[in-house]
Amino acid sequence: MSFPLGKPILVMLLVAVIAGGTLALRAKPRHRADLVLWVFADAHAQTYAKDMGPTPSLLRQFTANTGKTVQLELIGNRGLNVRLGSLYMADASGPHLPDLVELEIGTVSRYFRPPLDEVGLLPLNGLLKQSGWLDRLVRSRLVTWSKQGTIFGVPHDVSPVALCYRADLFAEAGVDIESSRTWQEFQDNCLKAQAHWRQQGHRRRWALELFEASSGYLGCLLLQRGINLLDVDDRPQLDDPRVAATVAAYALMLAGPRRIAADGAAGDAVYAQDMATGTLCAWLAPDWRLASMKQYAPQLAGKVRLMPLPRFEPRDAPTSTYGGTMLGISRRCADPQAAWRLVEHLYLSRAGLEARQHHSDMLPPVMDAWDDPVYHRADPYFASHAPGETGQRIGELYVQLARQIPVRIVSPAAPLAEPSLTFVMGRALAHARRHGQAGLEEACRQWLADETRSLRRRIRQGKFE
């Protein structure tokens, strides 16, 4: 037998063909389910895929009811966004594209950058209206997942923020922290408590947890005042005088002679230890945070309480919103009707809400579900002030707060605006450390004005519509 390129090349080609053929034959063709759902949170995956005693999991219920199979893929948040971003940027369709995807609030802004008809997610206004859910969901939460009035995601949660505090430690200091109506009063009360703790030898105990390196909580307090970093038209709001006042107040809680706050440790388990050891005695508590507190600091049962946030001014809300997740359908999903039925089953149905309640304390965005007794019972993990009660009715508190949560706007320019706020916060902290309150608010105003100018220029440069 002769081969024009010679025997060695023939052998190499044969080896390549045999190896390639073997691999191709060995690889099991993966059967794609009717619907593919990507989630980033383990807790959510458990809620959807885990049986609850004799009750089958939500996904099994869905398959039994509709005959449609669902493949759930748990992917780390960063990986999920890299993959999804690439797929949407390539306008991809086919087996690699998820039909449904859960997105976290900190990462969703990038998907809203393209013109409306090129956003990779399916507009849901029509489906929400037809099904009647539009009027039953918290309207401000729908705004969060919208661009120019087009809704791209169904909210998973409301994420109202309360203040959680170590009732035992404040009581020991003789301070009634719940009497604080304003942040100023709160700071005064915390200073009294800290003075007591210092006398007791607790030199490293601080009254409140606030971030020093990230502006996450500062943004949360700005939302409490109804201020988003960017408005719906991507216009920076940093030059609002209330922003300078809030940044200054925040810095003075973390630095200077009236300091009451310190940064918490990173990681849920370590962070819970800060609370358990009394290194930090109060912290901002969105409802989703309670599950990890109970898990990692069970010894705090009966020692903590929740209260509404103190305000800066009377017109501020007694709460804010921090974090959040949405479920969206890919625009190129092959069966949007089936995908929508899955959204309804996981997020809005009674079975979906019961499964969620089984796994966490999170309040759903379905307002009529808030009347359910499950959101009004006492929770023994939280100390009660009412005689005869075994615990605080924290669901009731969160429901009250959820009715007042401010609108959070997600802008495509958010990745530019958040570092600007963090930068000014860092400068304010450095100023407060060196000079205390003197000239702080004025300096903040100046820095914020500079950042606003720079931000406007950069947003204009990147803006399309």
Interface contacts to other proteins, rule CB under 8 A: 2, 4-6, 9, 88-91, 109-110, 113-115, 118-119, 203-204, 212-214, 262-263, 265-267, 270, 274, 279, 412-413, 415-416, 418-419, 422-423, 426-427, 429-430, 454, 458, 461-462, 464
Count of CB atoms situated within 10 Å of the CB of 315:
8
3-state SS of 367-398 is: HHHHHCHHHCCCECCECCCCCCCCCECHHHHH
Tell me the closest approach of the beta carbon of residue 462 to other proteins, in angstroms: 5
169 versus 429: smaller Cβ distance to other proteins: 429
397 versus 421: smaller Cβ distance to other proteins: 421
Tell me the closest approach of the beta carbon of residue 438 to other proteins, in angstroms: 20
Upper half-sphere CA count for residue 423 (Cβ side, 13 Å):
15
Locate 322 and state its tokens: 């921090």
- Cα–chain center distance at 430: 28
73 versus 212: smaller Cβ distance to other proteins: 212
SS3 state at 6: coil
Spell 260-281 as b/e; 16+ CB within 10 A means b.
Answer: bbbbbeeeeeebbbbbbebbbb
Tell me the closest approach of the beta carbon of residue 150 to other proteins, in angstroms: 14
Q: How far is CA 274 from CA 264, 281, 293, in A?
A: 7, 8, 11
7 versus 376: smaller Cβ distance to other proteins: 7
Tell me the closest approach of the beta carbon of residue 391 to other proteins, in angstroms: 30
Single out the residue of 256, 250, 335, 257 nearest to residue 284, CA to CA.
250
Tell me the closest approach of the beta carbon of residue 346 to other proteins, in angstroms: 28
21 versus 267: smaller Cβ distance to other proteins: 267
459, 252 Cβ separation under 8 angstroms:
no
Helices 414-435, 440-462: crossing angle, 10 deg rounding = 160
112 versus 133: smaller Cβ distance to other proteins: 112
Tell me the closest approach of the beta carbon of residue 21 to other proteins, in angstroms: 18
133 versus 206: smaller Cβ distance to other proteins: 206
Tell me the closest approach of the beta carbon of residue 219 to other proteins, in angstroms: 13
- What's the CA angle centered on 125, arms 120 and 129, to 5 degrees? 150
